[in-house]
Amino acid sequence: MACSVFLKKLIRKKVLSNSDIEESELNRCLTTIDLIGLGIGSTLGAGLYVVAGQVARESAGPAVTISFLVAALASALAGMCYAEFAARIPRAGSAYVYSYVTVGELMAFVIGWNLVLEYVIGTASVARGWSAYFDSLIDKKIAHFFNRTMPMHVDQLSDYPDFFAFGITIVLTVLLAVGVKESTRFNNVFTCVNLLVVLYVTICGFFKIDFNNWELKDVPASAGSGGFMPFGFSGIMEGAATCFYAFVGFDCVATTGEETRNPQRAIPIGIIVSLIIIFFSYFSVSAVITLMCPYYLLDTDAPLPTVFEYVGWGLARYIITAGAVCGLSTSLLGGMFPLPRILYAMGSDGLIFRFMGKVSDRFKTPVIGTIISGIFAGTMAMMFNLKELVDMMSIGTLLAYTLVAISVLILRYEADVNLLGSMSVTKMDDASRAAVIREPFSVVRLFRPGSDQPTRLSALISKLATAILCVCVTGFSAFTIFASDDLGEVKTWAIAVAVALGLMMCFCVAVIFLQPQSSASLAFKVPLVPFLPAISALVNIYLMLKLSLMTWLRFGIWMLIGFSIYFFYGVSNSSEGKVSASSSSAMLFRKSSEADSDSTTTTTTSFSEDALLVKNETLPKYSS
């Protein structure tokens, strides 16, 4: 009995009323243009000025353009899923809130904790890239000085403590704590400068391109086999896993739900438009630099100035430097921007320490969460190398994107979602209640649901098919990675296993497709459901499994810390737990009163087993 009660706590769901959607302690001041600028600024930074050169030289060669395309497609699929949820639930917290109202509390904590990891490491990695870029422009004088005076000979840590990266992070932490509107003004100006530099690099570089650089054969042994794909298909996919980092940041737009005017319309537009601009920027710059200079000669710390010096345009170095300063600064701001808001959402819900959710009366920002996260991110930037930071961040981000895609599948086929798209259902008439009664299961129902509206049975079938799909996708991805040699040699057993797993995935998607979808009217919906969310989950899981064992070990340590906080603090302090307890007491009192009065009718809506059918007026609003 005690075990059953505990398990129910782990899957309890967040219930939002219309007032929860509309009201906020934060300042609603952001426009659609602000969100587009925030999406571009938070993403178009280190990926453009650092990662493009690293991937081209070490992983993909000129095929870095294809790596960026694969990463962009994965990000676009995830971006559409985020956009649909933002249209449903415009609340601070992004994927954390989305999963809380669909999957349950434990999964929400896992996603929220991973988002904290993503934004902390994202901020630290950009600060580290900013420092490395600046240092390369002054002949690495900072690195030489600290390597002589304060070397750190510890595996998995930086060669020296990067106080410059720490200082940059703290400066922007103060800027964010002062106010969100001031931060976005700074971001919009610097993003415009950054885009102008991208245009400059593309146009000027076009006059110096040489297509022979995509067909090189006489290359050093460490540079692969030469040509357009010197490291083969595996190198392209390995590069895509790293390039994926370059697109991380657009989801910060989804965290602004409580600070945006008309968020149901503005957030989807901000996500989609910013991703399109970001992809074309990455693709054009990576194509130009690999056509201007042999890929194996690119500087991994500052490739763009090196390329223009190689072709004799030294003046471009200063223009590119200005763009890099602006781009990396806005990327750093964008990396830090959503972190306090995730902490605010989780702290307000009681899943982590509540002081993280405290909002300043003067600045209308979560000041305590901002300061703590800024110090933490600055310390990470000071102590770790860029590559370790990038790999560790990617795994948390990919997991969050995967769970958002799965949540879209669950919610789109859910029976208990009202036409406004929120997760609370108010008073229901007899016809509506009849549509969600339990039905007996039969195999025929897998292919012929018998209703054009979701029912409890069709929702259950879609959830089970989604769960099996996740298992098959994970198995298929792992098999294609670890048995890649056997697949490449076209061994019969390997092909048979891959085909069997592929057919199982197709069967699950077909079953989900045949179930009736929710008719909720939203400002944006993911097209081609369930196909696009399923493809998104497949790509994300595949890229996760391409990461190194050491990255998974670090991720395991991070999750162990998170579970310690949740099970020793969050379970007993959850706001939803307190609301459920209060509601249960109210129900018992009501039932007792009804029994005393011999009442045979009721005007209130009873609770469903999954806590989604709630009469909003009877719930006491819990205050943190």
Distance between CA 157 and CA 587 in Å, rounded? 56
Two tokens, residue 558 = 């991070």
- CB atoms < 10 A from the CB of 551, how many? 18
For residue 506, the model assigns a pLDDT of 94
- Fill in the amino acid letter for 334: G
Task: Yes or no: say if 119 and 558 are a contact pair by the CB < 8 Å rule.
Answer: no
Q: What does the angle CA 78 – CA 513 – CA 607 come to, to the nearest 5 degrees?
A: 85
- Given a cut of 50, is residue 604 above it in pLDDT? no
- Given a cut of 80, is residue 91 above it in pLDDT? no
CA 614 centroid distance within chain: 30
- Given a cut of 70, is residue 601 above it in pLDDT? no
pLDDT band for 467, please (50, 70, 90 cuts).
very high
User: pLDDT per residue over 186-233, tens digit each?
Assistant: 777 878 888 888 888 888 888 888 889 898 888 888 888 888 888 888
User: pLDDT per residue over 291-350, tens digit each?
Assistant: 998 988 888 777 888 888 888 887 777 788 777 777 777 777 777 777 777 888 888 888
- CB atoms < 10 A from the CB of 443, how many? 7
Is this prediction's pTM over 0.75? no
Task: Yes or no: say if 91 and 258 are a contact pair by the CB < 8 Å rule.
Answer: yes
CA distances for 187 relative to 33, 192, 338, 515, 564, angstroms: 11, 9, 14, 44, 36
Alpha helix locations (H) across 425-455? 430-434
Nearest to 344 by CA among 96, 533, 621: 96
- Given a cut of 50, is residue 154 above it in pLDDT? yes
Mean local confidence (pLDDT), 408-424: 62
Distance between CA 549 and CA 342 in Å, rounded? 28
User: pLDDT per residue over 207-219, tens digit each?
Assistant: 888 889 898 888 8
Helix (H, G, I), strand (E, B) or coil at 574: coil
Locus of tokens 């036409």: 419
- Given a cut of 80, is residue 608 above it in pLDDT? no
With 0-12 / 13-18 / 19 or more C-beta atoms within 10 angstroms meaning exposed / middle / buried, residue 418 is: middle
Distance between CA 170 and CA 409 in Å, rounded? 40
- Given a cut of 60, is residue 618 above it in pLDDT? no
Task: Yes or no: say if 386 and 181 are a contact pair by the CB < 8 Å rule.
Answer: no
| Average pLDDT value for the chain | 77
User: pLDDT per residue over 256-305, tens digit each?
Assistant: 666 677 777 787 888 888 888 988 999 999 999 999 989 888 887 778 88
Mean local confidence (pLDDT), 470-495: 89
User: pLDDT per residue over 552-562, tens digit each?
Assistant: 888 888 889 99
**Which of these CATH numbers, 3.30.1480.10, 1.10.3720.10, 1.20.1740.10, 3.20.20.70, describes 2-411?**
1.20.1740.10
Distance between CA 383 and CA 124 in Å, rounded? 9
Domain boundaries, given as residue ranges, for the chain: 2-411, 414-517, 577-618
User: pLDDT per residue over 31-73, tens digit each?
Assistant: 888 888 878 877 777 677 778 888 888 888 899 999 999 888 8
Distance between CA 304 and CA 284 in Å, rounded? 13
- Given a cut of 50, is residue 424 above it in pLDDT? no
User: pLDDT per residue over 557-599, tens digit each?
Assistant: 888 999 999 999 888 888 887 766 665 555 555 555 555 554 4
Could you tell me which residues come within 8 angstroms of residue 288 by beta carbon, excluding any fewer than 6 positions away?
201, 202, 205, 206, 209
Return the higher-pLDDT residue of 600 and 95: 95
